[in-house]
């Protein structure tokens, strides 16, 4: 796995051995970042990477101009790899890492708000259908939520929903803050 654009383009990322994570493919990540770029700038953006895994989405955003990123991952060994990737890229001072349940983190985040929220949960996560209602309120005005899921879920009409795009088995649904929703 590698960073696909921006300052760190082409830099390799560390990944856990085995099936501990389900990293987004380069094609899906490139598509996600094209969808964002068509709607807002990365410059100075604050990023929340939930279900972070290796941190590839948050680190990609930093590579493209985001100012800070928060990574939330429940598995200790995996969040260590995300931190290792940030150190490898020299951006650890712009990152916060939490070994925490992502849903609980979102529910208890208080007044923290973000310009970009990435959520790539396990497709079998019981509360996955509820994530947009839970995460859209965490967005700053003009902020975007990008949620990866499989074809079984449809979010048409959900709070803040803009569109969904299919990339093989993976669907990426985009949501905007209430202030920016169409």
Give the homologous superfamily in CATH for domain 26-176.
Vaccinia Virus protein VP39 (3.40.50.150)
Q: What pTM was estimated for this model as a whole?
A: 0.93
Those residues with Cβ within 8 angstroms of residue 159's Cβ, 6 or more apart along the chain or in another chain: 132, 133, 136, 175, 178, 181
For 78-94, the pLDDT digits (tens) are 999 999 999 999 999 99
For 91-147, the pLDDT digits (tens) are 999 999 999 999 999 999 878 999 999 999 998 999 999 999 999 999 999 999 999
Cα radius of gyration rounded to whole Å, the chain: 15
Decide if 174 contacts 148 (C-beta within 8 A). no
Average of pLDDT values for 28-33? 89
Residue ranges per structural domain of the chain: 26-176
Helical ranges in 95-173 per DSSP H: 102-107, 131-135
């Amino acid at each position: 796995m590698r960073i696909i654009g921006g300052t760190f383009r082409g830099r390799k990322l560390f990944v856990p051995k085995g099936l501990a994570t389900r990293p987004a493919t380069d094609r899906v990540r490139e598509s996600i970042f094209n969808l964002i770029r068509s709607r807002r700038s990365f410059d100075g953006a604050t990023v929340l990477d939930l279900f972070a895994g290796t941190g590839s989405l948050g680190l990609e955003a930093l590579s493209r101009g985001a100012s800070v990123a928060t990574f939330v991952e429940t598995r200790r060994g995996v969040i260590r790899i995300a931190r290792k990737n940030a150190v490898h890229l020299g951006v650890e001072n712009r990152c916060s890492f939490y070994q925490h349940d992502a849903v609980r983190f979102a529910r208890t985040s208080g007044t923290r708000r973000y310009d970009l929220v990435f959520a790539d949960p396990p497709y079998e996560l019981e509360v996955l259908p509820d994530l947009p209602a839970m995460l859209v309120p965490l967005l700053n005005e003009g902020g975007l939520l990008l949620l990866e899921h499989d074809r079984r879920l449809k979010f048409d009409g959900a709070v803040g929903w803009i569109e969904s795009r299919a990339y093989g088995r993976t669907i990426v649904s985009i949501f905007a803050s209430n202030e920016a929703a169409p």
